[in-house]
Amino acid sequence: MTDSPGDGRHPYPVAGQPYPPPGQGFGYPPPAKPPGPRTGLIVAGAIGLVVILGVGIAIGLSLSGGSSAPEAKPAPAAPSPAPSTTASPAAPPGKYSMSGISDACALLDPKPLAKWSATPIPPVHREGGPSEGYGGDLSCSLRYTSTSATDGVATNEAGIAVRAEFASADRPPAYEQWNTKPSPGWTSGTTPGLGTRNYWRAGSTTEPGPGASYIVGVEDSNVTVEIQVAVHRAPGETPLKMDELSSIARSQARAVLDRLRKP
């Protein structure tokens, strides 16, 4: 699936929005309603992902951008001005490009998720090319399920997602929008030696089953990349190790930068 980026003419993907209230979310698909007050809930707004731990994981990317405000009614047409001969400003140059990337999911390596779940769910991806000073964007969400050995029901799920946005002529770097304050109960920090600047956020739950999510974002030259890894297990299964999720997320972030780097 491919969309064009921009504002009213070319909607940007939803990115870095505030964490929604419990039981709500954004992205694709929407989260399921929690079945009770003991349900462990983690909502990870970054990457346009909604991660519900303790019920299952709904990992999806918001493919429809733009504001949630009502669409304004057009004003009466004014006389057409003389055609402008001024060219649109060009996107800032840099070390990275989305040239040749026809499927953002090719940027990810899902093999590390197989230790948790290996049955694929159809991926969701987006490729928005550069246009009129906008640098372009890419996003992909990969999800996998498996049957729990503790209850015989397909309640286990693992997912990984990426989004990348290239520098534009008329807006701040995506890093400024995506590096949001962690939700209550989450931890955060930085990783030495990763890009020009970076951040990570992590959250976990044990009720009713083990679940964890790790997010790492990095800005380098003209691109901002964000990776999220999330895993949910059925009640009674072995607790998750956050170090394993963080290792996967950081490795994937470096690999995505390598794949986007110009020759």
Domain ranges of the chain: 46-64+92-260
Tokens of 52: 């519900």
CATH of the domain spanning 46-64+92-260, picked from 3.40.1000, 1.10.1740, 1.10.3470, 3.30.420: 3.40.1000
Per-residue pLDDT averaged across 240-246, rounded? Answer: 97
More confident residue, 246 or 39: 246
Q: What is the pLDDT of residues 191-206, one digit of tens each?
A: 999 999 999 999 999 8
Alpha-helix residue ranges (DSSP H) falling in 108-226: 174-178
Percent over 90 (pLDDT), the chain? 58
Looking at residue 224, the DSSP 8-state letter turns out to be: E
Q: What is the pLDDT of residues 15-62, one digit of tens each?
A: 333 323 222 222 323 333 333 333 333 333 333 334 433 333 444 333
- Contact by Cβ (8 Å): 138, 107: yes
Identify the pLDDT of residue 85. Answer: 58
Whole-model pTM?
0.72
CA separation for the pair 204, 210 (Å, rounded): 8
| pLDDT of 168 over the 60 cut | yes
Residues paired with residue 229 on neighbouring β-strands, in sequence order: 160, 214
CA separation for the pair 251, 258 (Å, rounded): 11
Convert 13-39 into a string of H (helix), E (strand) and C (coil). CCCCCCCCCCCCCCCCCCCCCCCCCCC
